[in-house]
Chains A and B, each alone.
Chain A
Amino acid sequence: MGTRDCQHICAESSPAIGEAGKTGEWRDSFPVIDPEKCVVARQNKPACFLCWLYCPDAVITKTVPIQIDMEYCKGCGICAQICPAHAISMIREQ
């Protein structure tokens, strides 16, 4: 059983990243961003961010340049399909 800050025993869960373990291990292919095509990387300022908006697992950062957390990316490929500049491609895991 967990404990609260007041040391009372309780059946309460605490929030944490990676509840299901390293979900990156589920992937069969991984996304790669081409900085030559990505609008954010090319303009070097906040723009577009559609991959961040549509990522179901919130593993894409809203930063310049965009980064993907490979530890937890499940490899669904939505970012590659949604990218208007076709800057993301899915590469098969070895």
Chain B
Amino acid sequence: MKTTAVNLTEKEYALPGNRTCPGCALSLAYRHILKALEGQAIVTVPPSCLTVLHGMYPITSVTVPCVNTPFASAAASATGLLAGLKALGREGPTVVAVAGDGGTYDIGIQALSAAAERQTDFLYICYDNEGYMNTGNQRSGSTPLGAISGTTPVLGKQQNPKDIVAIMEAHGIPYVATANASYPLDLYEKVKKARAIRGTRFIHVFSPCPPGWSFPFNNTISIGKLAVEIGWVILYEVEDGVFRLTSASESIAKQGNLKPLREYLGQQGRFRNITEEQIEALQRWVNARWKRCLDRAGN
């Protein structure tokens, strides 16, 4: 049965009154990730906005067990949790590492790569808000070309982001997927599917950040949807090496054309100083990646 807003479970594992900003896409995505895991998970979280969501001692706003780990070690601590569960003979809960783009693209990548190489049986979720939003919007390996950040305050970042999903796919792990907080049901399905698979699973979740990207709080969902329509985010999954476009990206591939990038950039304050050359470079980057995906999907 297809999951819809009407038949999706009512049970909440991320409780109201938490510390995230209004309109936070991470908060929305995390709600649905925990729904898909049915609370049967042990979460390990490096420093990120998710630590903020989990809250300060002695109260937490999340009803699943969570371990806070150092920045570089989300995947390493997941390996340790698994070893602990094995020693205790417990098989029920899924070990889930949830990290931001800083904790995945930059600081956490060696632990993640090592865990994937060991084929550790855990689910790694990277929520990508394209910068170190928790500590003051510094640039990360995921910040796009031309975006203003705390450490690129005038000219914007001068490099393109790296393709972490392709890097993880190259590890030969059984399940790799991209998702978007603006498509919560697609995200729910992917987490549910990943939960049933054994081995290292990786899901990349695009999460627009209103204060970090300078757009109004109520536009979180529309910015996320627009990101898919212009091809900035491509929703797909690779299961045992078989590539498949999903959700909105699948229908865009059938209809043909992407919207121009300019519309997306214009809605966000972080691109206020972007130059024409940078827009063209970004458009080329988007087009090349979209073409690669279309070729793989066989359209």
Interface residues of A (CB under 8 A from B): 2, 11, 13-23, 26-27, 46-50, 52-59, 62, 69, 71-72, 74-78, 80-82, 90
Contacts and interface: CB of A to CB of B under 8 A. Distances in A.
Interface string B4-41: 01101010101111111111110110010000000000
A70 B219 CA distance: 21
9 contacts: A13-B56, A13-B57, A17-B17, A18-B16, A21-B17, A23-B17, A56-B27, A76-B220, A77-B217
A59 B54 CA distance: 17
B218 interface: yes
B221 interface: yes
Nearest to A26: B22
Contacts of B15: 15-19, 58
Interface stretch (B58-66, B131-139, B288-296): B58-66
Contacts of A14: 58-60
B16 A52 contact: no
Interface in B198-239: 210, 216-222
B6 A46 contact: yes
A49 B5 CA distance: 6
B31 A47 contact: no
B244 to A, nearest CB: 24
Interface residues on B, range: 35 or more
Given A56-B27, A76-B217, 9 more contacts: A2-B58, A14-B60, A21-B17, A49-B6, A53-B5, A58-B31, A62-B10, A74-B22, A77-B218
A20 B210 CA distance: 19
B184 interface: yes
Contacts of A52: 5
Interface of B: 5-6, 8, 10, 12, 14-25, 27-28, 31, 54-63, 184-185, 210, 216-222
A13 B60 contact: yes
Contacts of B16: 17-18, 23, 57-59, 69, 72
Given A54-B28, A54-B184, A76-B220, A19 B23 contact: no
B22 A48 contact: no
Contacts, number: 118
A50 B5 contact: yes
Nearest to B63: A15
Interface centre among A17, A26, A59 (most CB of B within 10 A): A17
A61 to B, nearest CB: 8
B141 to A, nearest CB: 26
Given A69-B16, A81-B222, A56 B60 contact: no
Given A13-B58, A19-B55, A80-B218, A47 B6 contact: yes
A16 B59 contact: yes
Contacts of B219: 81
Contacts of A21: 17
Nearest to B29: A56
A50 B61 CA distance: 23
A42 to B, nearest CB: 15
B217 to A, nearest CB: 4
Contact of B220 (A47, A59, A78): A78
Contacts of A27: 22
A60 B12 CA distance: 11
Contacts of B60: 13-16, 19
B28 A56 contact: yes
Contact of B17 (A2, A18, A55, A62): A18
